[in-house]
Amino acid sequence: MGRIAEEYGTLVFNDHTMQELLPSATYKALSKTIKEGKPLDIEVANVVAHAMKEWAVANGATHYTHWFQPLSGITSEKHDAFLDPQADGRAIMKFSGKALIQGEPDASSFPSGGIRATFEARGYTAWDPTSYAFIKDEVLCIPTAFCSYTGEALDKKTPLLRSMEAVSAQACKVLSYFGQDVPRVTTTVGAEQEYFLIKEEDYEQRQDLILTGRTLFGAPPCKGQEMEEHYFGAIRPTVNNFMKELDEELWKLGVAAKTKHNEVAPCQHELAPMFTISNVAIDHNLLTMELMRTIASHYGLVCLQHEKPFEGINGSGKHNNWSIATDSENLLDPGKTPASNLRFLVFLAAVVQAVDDYQDLLRISVASAGNDHRLGANEAPPAVISIFLGDELGRVVDAIIAGKDDDGAEAVYMDLGVEVLPSFERDNTDRNRTSPFAFTGNKFEFRMPGSQVNLADANTILNTIVAKSLKCFCEAVEDAGDFEKAAFAWVRKTLIEHQRIIFNGDGYADEWLEEAERRGLLNLKSLVDAAPHMLDEKNVALFKEFGVLNEAENRSRYEVKLETYSKLINIEGQTMSHMTKRKIAPAVSAYAEQVADTINAKKAANPDLDPVADQKLLAKLNAGANEMSDALDALDEALAVAQGIDDALAMARSYHDGVLAAMDRLRVACDAMEGIVSTEAWPLPTYNKILFYC
Ligand code: ADP
Ligand code: MG
C-alpha cells in the first residue's frame, strides 16, 4: 500500500474504524443516526463512547474536547482528561456516552450578540455525528454544535445543519416529481484556501501583522506581481517541506488535501481538498487553517490568513465550490438525456432565482473588515453579485428565454437533450475568473468569500435560498396535469424573471458596475452597507420559514457582525497610532537629525559648500513629519469619536467613514517617509524584504 493510503484517516474515528470496533448492533444504530440525522440513544452512545475512548487512548490521546464554532467563526475547545481517580489512589480512563453527546462549556465568554440577555445564559454542545471525531495533539476532538439551553443556536454549525435539512427536504420533494424516491439529498463543498507564508523574523518585527494580521504601513515594493512568475511557479524548498508536512498531517485527519500550488502574489499559495458534504468540508477547512498556522512555525515561517495582508498585492480568498447531490448523482450535472436535463434545468433555474432574490444575503455572508479590502480591488470579484454560466450553458438559457411562445419553448426543450447539453465540457466552462458566482461544469463556484471566513454562513445561506426556490418550483407544479410541461414552463419563467443576475462578461470592468446598476443589482460596497439587510423583512421571513434562524438568532448574528467589525478596526486604528508614535515618528526624527548633523558637519568643514541635496531631504523629512503628526491627531480623534458611540450600526459606520479614512491618510504620510528614510534607519521590515525572501 502507498504511504498516503496507509496513513489516510488513521487519526479519525471513521466508518471503517467504527465498523471494526463497534458491536454490529451499535454500529447499525449509529449508522442510522448518521444517515437519517436522528438523535442518538444514550445506550448506544455509551457503547460508542467506550470504543472511541479505547481507540483514542491506543492512539496516544489523554484528553477529549467538544470542538465547536462559536459566532467568532474560529474553533473553540476545552480539554478534559479521560481521567477518573479511584478510591484506592489509582486512576482509570473514563469517557461516558453522556460526555460524548453533550458538553457544557461556559457560554458567557463567547460572542452572542445579546442573545444571552434574551435567553438562558448557559449553553451546551451537542455531537454532530455526521462529522467524525478525530485526534489532534493527543486530544480526541468531537465536532459539535453549540446551543443555548432554550435551543437558540450560539454557533455557526447549527444553522448550517438546519439549512442542509431544509434544502434536502425541498430537493427530495422536487425529485419525487421526477419519480425518484430519495431519503436525503446532501450539499457538497470544496473549499480552495489561499494563504501567505512569510518569515517569522520579519513577522516578529511587525506589530501590525502580529496584532491585526495585516500590514498597516508599507510602501509598494520595487517589484510586485507584474512579472506573473509566481503563479504555478516552482515552490521554494522550505515552503515545499511545509506543504509536505501539512498534506501528511491532513491526510491522517482524513482531510483529502489534493492540490497545492503557488498563487499570483509573491509568497502566496493555495491548497484545495477534494469536496465532501458541507458540514464536514467546513470542519475540514477550519482544521486545515489551524494546521497551516501551527506547521508553518516548524519551518521558521508564519502563515497569514488575512484577506489583505499587503496593500497593492493580491489578497487571499477561499473559493466555495458548491453542489447538491443524492447518494449517487450530482443534481447539477447536466446529464445526457432530456429527462435528466430537465431536472438539471430545474435545479439551475432554482439557483438563478435564489441568487437574484437574495443577493444581499450572499453579500452579507462574506462581509468582513478584511474582505472589504479585497472585493472589487481587481483581484477578486466586485461587491456586486452576478452569475456566470459560460458560453454553452449561456446559449441554452438564451434559447429557452427566446422561445417566443409556449410551442417555441417546448421545441427548444425537446432539442436540449440531444444537441446542446451533452457536449458540455467541464473545462470549457471555467475560463472566466472574474465572476463572483460561476457555473463550473457540475457545480457553482462562489468566489467572494475571504480567506479567513468560516464558510458556514455562506453555505447556510446558499442552502436556504435554494430551498426557497425549490419550494417555489414544487408549488408551481403541484397541481399541473402535465408535469414536464409545467416544469419547463417554470424554468422558462424563472429564467426570464431573473435574467438580470446572469452576466458572462468581465466582472472586473468598470462598465460592468454601470451595467449592473442599470439592471438594478445591488452593489453593497462595505460591511456597513450590507449588514443592515440582515434585518430586512424578506430575509427574516426566509430564515423563519425554513427553521434556519429565528428572529432573535438572526438579530444576534447581526449584532455580532457589527461588533466584530468595529472591534477589529478599533484594534487596527490603535495599533497604527501606537506604531506611528513609538516607532515611525521617532525614526523619522532621528533620521532628520542625522541629515541636519550632516549639513552642519559639511558647513563646518567647508563654509563655501551649499548642501542642497541634504537641505532638500531635510525639508521633505520635516514636512513629512508634520503631516504625519496632523494625520495622527486626526486618527486619534476619529477613534475617540467612534469609541464614544452607543448604537452598533452607527458605531460601525463611524469606524468605516471616520477611522478607516484617517488610517488611510496616516498610511500615505508614513509610507512617503519610508521612501526617503535610509534602510538602516527605518524601523520595520519593508515589503521588499518580506515578500522577496529566499
Ligand atoms: P479550480 O479550477 O477553481 O482550481 P478545481 O477543478 O481544482 O477548481 O476544483 C476546485 C474544487 O471544487 C475542489 O475542491 C473540488 O473538490 C471541488 N469540487 C468538484 N466537484 C464538486 C462538487 N460536485 N461539489 C462541490 N465541490 C466540488
Ligand atoms: Mg477556484
Question: pLDDT tens, 207-243?
Answer: 999 999 999 999 998 887 777 777 777 788 899 999 9
Strand partners, 141: 65, 134
In short, whether 330's Cβ falls inside 6 Å of ligand 1 is: yes
What CATH number did the domain enclosing 584 receive? 1.20.120.1560
Lowest mean pLDDT among 58-72, 274-288, 383-397: 383-397
Average pLDDT on 10-27 reads 96
- CB-based contact 271:192 (threshold 8 Å): yes
Band of pLDDT at residue 183, cut at 50, 70 and 90: very high
pLDDT in tens, 615-654: 999 999 999 999 999 999 999 999 999 999 999 999 999 9
In short, whether 273's Cβ falls inside 6 Å of ligand 1 is: yes
Q: Ligand 1 centre from 80 Cα, in Å?
A: 37
Distance CA 526, CA 369 (A): 8
- Tell me which of 525 and 431 has the higher pLDDT: 525
In short, whether 68's Cβ falls inside 6 Å of ligand 1 is: no
Q: Ligand 1 centre from 274 Cα, in Å?
A: 7
Percent of the chain with pLDDT over 70: 94
What's the confidence (pLDDT) of residue 338?
55
In short, whether 443's Cβ falls inside 6 Å of ligand 1 is: yes
Q: Is 182 inside a domain boundary? A: yes
Lowest mean pLDDT among 313-317, 433-437, 656-660: 433-437
Shared-domain flag, residues 20 and 116? yes
Shared-domain flag, residues 151 and 257? no
Band of pLDDT at residue 337, cut at 50, 70 and 90: low
Strand partners, 64: 80, 140
Q: Is 554 inside a domain boundary? A: no
Shared-domain flag, residues 260 and 204? yes
Q: Is 171 inside a domain boundary? A: yes
Q: Ligand 2 centre from 443 Cα, in Å?
A: 11
- CB-based contact 469:167 (threshold 8 Å): no
Shared-domain flag, residues 137 and 31? yes
Q: Is 29 inside a domain boundary? A: yes
In short, whether 390's Cβ falls inside 6 Å of ligand 1 is: no
Distance CA 318, CA 370 (A): 13
In short, whether 321's Cβ falls inside 6 Å of ligand 1 is: yes
Shared-domain flag, residues 510 and 592? no
Shared-domain flag, residues 334 and 288? yes
What CATH number did the domain enclosing 376 receive? 3.30.590.10
Q: Is 386 inside a domain boundary? A: yes
* Predicted model pTM: 0.94
Shared-domain flag, residues 589 and 670? yes
Judged against a pLDDT cut of 70, whether residue 424 lies above it is answered with no
Q: Is 556 inside a domain boundary? A: no
- CB-based contact 687:220 (threshold 8 Å): yes
Q: Ligand 2 centre from 550 Cα, in Å?
A: 33
- CB-based contact 676:621 (threshold 8 Å): yes
What's the confidence (pLDDT) of residue 404?
52
- Tell me which of 55 and 340 has the higher pLDDT: 55
Distance CA 63, CA 82 (A): 5
Shared-domain flag, residues 469 and 583? no
Closest CA to 464 of 189, 187, 191: 187
Shared-domain flag, residues 151 and 172? no
Band of pLDDT at residue 419, cut at 50, 70 and 90: very low
Q: Which ligand is nearest to the CA of 319?
A: 2
Q: Which of 505, 521, 549 lies at the terminal end of a domain, its last residue?
A: 549
b/e 414-450 (16+ beta carbons within 10 angstroms → b): eebbeebbeebeeeebbebebbbbbbbbbbbbbbbbb
Shared-domain flag, residues 145 and 192? no
Judged against a pLDDT cut of 50, whether residue 427 lies above it is answered with no
- The three grid cell numbers given for residue 604, joined into one nine-digit string: 563646518
Q: Which ligand is nearest to the CA of 441?
A: 1
Number of structural domains found in the chain: 3
Alpha-carbon 232 to chain mean position: 23
Q: For 432, what's the count of Cα atoms within 13 Å in the CB-facing half-sphere?
A: 28
Band of pLDDT at residue 1, cut at 50, 70 and 90: low
Judged against a pLDDT cut of 90, whether residue 37 lies above it is answered with no
Q: Ligand 1 centre from 292 Cα, in Å?
A: 20
Q: What is the mean pLDDT of the chain?
A: 91
Q: Is 555 inside a domain boundary? A: no
Band of pLDDT at residue 116, cut at 50, 70 and 90: low
Band of pLDDT at residue 422, cut at 50, 70 and 90: very low
Q: Which ligand is nearest to the CA of 430?
A: 1
Closest approach atom of ligand 1 to CA 330: 23
Judged against a pLDDT cut of 80, whether residue 365 lies above it is answered with yes
Domain with 31, as residue range(s), is 4-155
Q: Ligand 1 centre from 602 Cα, in Å?
A: 66
Distance CA 412, CA 444 (A): 24
Q: Which ligand is nearest to the CA of 323?
A: 1
Shared-domain flag, residues 363 and 498? yes
Q: Which of 129, 155, 181 lies at the terminal end of a domain, its last residue?
A: 155
Q: Ligand 1 centre from 317 Cα, in Å?
A: 15
Percent of the chain with pLDDT over 90: 75
pLDDT in tens, 378-410: 778 889 999 999 887 888 888 888 875 444 444
Nearest residue (by CA) to ligand 1, atom 11, is 190
pLDDT in tens, 155-180: 999 999 999 999 999 999 999 999 99
In short, whether 331's Cβ falls inside 6 Å of ligand 1 is: no
Judged against a pLDDT cut of 70, whether residue 428 lies above it is answered with no
Distance CA 287, CA 136 (A): 9
Lowest mean pLDDT among 86-100, 278-292, 354-368, 456-470: 86-100
In short, whether 329's Cβ falls inside 6 Å of ligand 1 is: no
What's the confidence (pLDDT) of residue 508?
87
Q: Is 558 inside a domain boundary? A: no
What's the confidence (pLDDT) of residue 426?
45
What CATH number did the domain enclosing 15 receive? 3.10.20.70
In short, whether 69's Cβ falls inside 6 Å of ligand 1 is: no
Shared-domain flag, residues 13 and 122? yes
**Strand-strand pairing, 186-199 and 276-277:** antiparallel
